[in-house]
Amino acid sequence: MGGIRYVCFLFSFVFAFSANVTAQEPLAIGQWRSWLPYQAGRYVTQSAEAVWYATELSVMRVDKADFSLDYLSKVEGLSGVGVHLVKYHPGAQVLMVIYDDGVIDLVRETEVLTVPGLAESNIIIGEKRINDVFCTDTARAWLAGNFGLSRFDVRTGLFEGTTRMPVEARSVVTWRDSVWVSTDEGLYAAPLQGVNLDDFGNWRWLGPDAGFPADYSAGALAVFADRLYLNMDGRLVRYADGQLTNVHQESGMSLHFLTAEGAHLVAGFRCNGDCNGRLLYFTADGQYEPSAAQCVNRPLYAIEDEQGRVWIADEWRKFRLDRRDGSGECYQFATNTPWSANTYDIELWQDEVWIAAGGVSSIFGYLFRSDGIMARVDGQWNAYNKFTRDELNGLEDFLAVRIHPQTGVVYAGSFLDGLVVYDRQQFKVYNDTNSTLNNAIGDPLRTRVSGLALDAEGNLWVANHSAERPFSVLRPDGTWQSFAPECVARELAQVVVDLFGYKWFVVTNNNAGVLVYDDGGTLDDPSDDRCRLFTALDSELPTNKVNCLAVDLDGAVWVGTNEGPVIFECDPFFDQCTGSRRIVEQDNFGAYLLEDEDVRTIAVDGANRKWVGTTNGVFVLSPDGLEEEARFTTDNSPLFDNLITDIAIHPETGEVYIGTGKGMLSLKAEATEGGPVHRSEVKVYPNPVRPDYEGPIAIEGLARDANVKITDLHGQLVYETTALGGRAIWYGTDYNGRRVQSGVYLVFATSDNIQNPDTAVARILVIH
């Protein structure tokens, strides 16, 4: 059934949080960190020591003793995202992580083994979805799915056989020397010994001759007190010794799952309409009691542990634990993680991370995403949306967030009705009723804010999509002004301000790609205003489909299109300025830079390198764009998805925050922001460099692109390099790649500032 792909990862939980921990350890250069939402469980399983929740994109571990939390994602060694269910196999002591596409990760203490055999099988055509897993006392697991039934050895990762069934297998158990499988057409069984289980002709359908109806559907199965329990047409029934007994039925509800891992049979019912479900705990004689109040909304799965506590996965937010301590109360706990995986726009300020978690369709239609704005401040994640703040009711599809660099005031733009200003005390909403913002032509009830940018004077420029006057400015004194220049294009989105103070807007219709506006330095005097539209007909834009803009450290404006980037390194109001496309060598031929890539976002790091996010991963380009310095995809990195939604880079730490279609993660990159001269204190870390350390040694606080020489105490040159922005990297080796001997080494860094060519000195102690 397809070969095993032995992709083993060293496995350790680098994130070990209790629910109230507020900070994370700093990253080492080259290390990744995940920022996924852990807000609700899709499935839950347990070992003797821990409970494991499958979330939408990854896995969370809860320690049964102290309730500390660990997070396990692709960054920590999993092979993918989109977790369908998790099942701990006690016999093999392995956690099975099963993805939506049928790939299986086997998580052990020191490694993760990925088994793609089911997903890659040529025997099973089309989608492979696993619905249920039953673990035996040995290393075997039975997998019920839309293809039928597979027998799987958890220790070796090998499939022992597959029964292709004409109908989807819903659940599976072994009981009384037989294996039992439920389907929409009823229950099937086969003896565990003496027949070829792969031949579906050896299976028996349980109908009237076995005491079952002639027409019924079967779902969840469980073995409890040596009896077989099953979901029959939405109700709970029991089967034993040829007798079928109705046990329980909930009016207006259907039985969704059954588990029997503790002293009770746990049955989860889901509402057939719009109401909460029920969770019932049955004893062997058919008596039951309900779960604690507030423990259930829309239950997905639940298990009982050895202490009688019930851990619940529910479709609604928060994780639930019914302690069953007699109090009748439910323990609900949340995690210090983002509200959702949506990351349309990322903004970094000091140690804070802010995210606009909305979105639009490819033609700038509403998606009605209600996640609002997410923020990590002082180590704590918070969400600001209609569910958490009454002031934001009606505001959805947030597309932009900016923070005033001096005051910390937060500005956020909602495509579904206005600009939000948050002064860290209260929210104020601006729309057509209290500002110069206009409602959209053709949609008179919506004030579409689609882009934000702050200029050097602290003016906030607001793109007002599809409005009669399509952009406005909010001055620091609180007054507003709107603009409709002669070259007006009304469908404006992202806006950036270049080093000349010109405002560049993405145009989202098919007639133009970019609008550039110059207010002449006087907002109130329209006589000196200028504007220009760049299209595929009068510039180097290969297409009018423009997605993003970025201004680099030299003042060039990079324009991302669906056919690669175009660079404007000239005054856009000169007639001869039409932009340029880099020509690079590709397969021994000249080609335009990334001409086959749909560029969705561009960020500039402290070394003026361009981090280009596409629908095909991330490209890291040299400052001039002629060299590809790195490439990150889902195949060669922990990226959750190749669709990149936004990239933001922290100027002080060099941490690169990457939003993808399946959540955000970050990478500690080499470059930081460098000033014209060195800082008063140049930092070196790690220092001392100990014998077991083989990673990069960072030298920080340098002038931008400083020349760095490393010598021994006798002045002999050991290594020379150029800083990436304000940080230089040394791996403790000489020019020949050999590790240097133990001792003290001196760092001399000279800036290129002609007026102040200063030199910084630092010492590094190397110990072998």
Q: What is the pLDDT of residues 323-350, one digit of tens each?
A: 998 888 899 999 999 999 999 999 999 9
Q: Which of 424, 426, 477, 422 is nearest to 452 (CA)?
A: 422
Whether the pLDDT of residue 273 is over 90: the answer is no
Average pLDDT of the segment spanning 741-745? 95
**What's the rounded Cα separation, in Å, for the pair 130 and 424?**
47
Q: How far apart are the first and last CA of the chain?
A: 50
pLDDT recorded at residue 161:
92
Reported as a pLDDT band with limits 50, 70 and 90, residue 137 is confident
Residue 533 C-alpha from the chain's centroid: 35
pLDDT recorded at residue 3:
47
Q: Which residues contact 664 (CB under 8 A, 6 or more apart)?
A: 34, 35, 36, 338, 341, 343, 346, 355, 657, 658
The beta-strand segments (E) located in 484-562 are 492-497, 503-507, 514-518, 530-534, 546-551, 557-561
- Dihedral (CA of 428, 432, 437, 440) sign: positive
Average pLDDT of the segment spanning 386-407? 97
Whether the pLDDT of residue 10 is over 80: the answer is no
pLDDT recorded at residue 754:
62
Q: Which residues contact 348 (CB under 8 A, 6 or more apart)?
A: 354, 648, 649, 650, 657
Q: Tens digit of pLDDT for each residue in 190-242? A: 999 999 999 999 999 999 999 999 999 999 999 999 999 999 999 999 999 88
Coil, helix or strand at residue 391:
helix
Whether the pLDDT of residue 644 is over 60: the answer is yes
Phi-psi domain of 652 (left: phi exceeds 0; alpha: psi -120 through 50; beta: other): alpha
Average pLDDT of the segment spanning 155-161? 92
Q: Tens digit of pLDDT for each residue in 401-455? A: 999 999 999 999 999 999 999 999 999 999 999 999 999 999 999 999 999 999 9
Q: Tens digit of pLDDT for each residue in 28-77? A: 999 999 999 999 999 999 999 999 999 999 999 999 999 999 999 999 99
pLDDT recorded at residue 120:
67
pLDDT recorded at residue 16:
34
Q: Which residues contact 130 (CB under 8 A, 6 or more apart)?
A: 84, 85, 98, 102, 104, 118, 143, 144, 145
Q: Tens digit of pLDDT for each residue in 746-765? A: 999 998 766 666 787 899 99
One-letter amino acid identity for 352? E
Under a CB-based contact definition with an 8 Å cutoff, are residues 78 and 68 in contact?
no
pLDDT recorded at residue 14:
33
Phi-psi domain of 352 (left: phi exceeds 0; alpha: psi -120 through 50; beta: other): beta
Whether the pLDDT of residue 104 is over 90: the answer is yes
* Percent helix, strand and coil across the chain, each to the nearest 5: 0, 45, 50
Under a CB-based contact definition with an 8 Å cutoff, are residues 235 and 228 in contact?
no
Write out the DSSP string of 599-615.
EEEEEE-TT--EEEEET
Please state, in angstroms and as integers, the Cα–Cα distance from residue 26 to each residue in 32, 170, 444, 648, 667, following that order. Answer: 11, 45, 48, 18, 11
pLDDT recorded at residue 395:
97
Whether the pLDDT of residue 25 is over 70: the answer is no
Q: Tens digit of pLDDT for each residue in 693-716? A: 989 999 999 999 999 999 999 999
1 membership: H or E segment, kind and range:
none
- Dihedral (CA of 640, 645, 646, 647) sign: positive
Average pLDDT of the segment spanning 168-186? 97
Token pair of 591, please?
A: 């080609």
Reported as a pLDDT band with limits 50, 70 and 90, residue 12 is very low
Under a CB-based contact definition with an 8 Å cutoff, are residues 151 and 197 in contact?
yes
One-letter amino acid identity for 660? T
Query: What does residue 165 show for φ and ψ, rounded to 5 degrees?
Result: -115, 145
> Count of residues for the chain?
768
Coil, helix or strand at residue 682:
coil
**What's the rounded Cα separation, in Å, for the pair 538 and 517?**
17
- Using a cut of 0.85, tell me whether the model's pTM lies above it: yes
Q: Tens digit of pLDDT for each residue in 280-319? A: 999 999 999 999 988 999 999 999 999 999 999 999 999 9
Q: Which residues contact 412 (CB under 8 A, 6 or more apart)?
A: 356, 373, 398, 400, 401, 402, 419, 420, 422, 452
Give percent above pLDDT 90 in the chain.
Answer: 87
Ranking 10-24, 519-533, 667-681 by mean pLDDT, the lowest is: 10-24
pLDDT recorded at residue 526:
85
Whether the pLDDT of residue 536 is over 90: the answer is yes
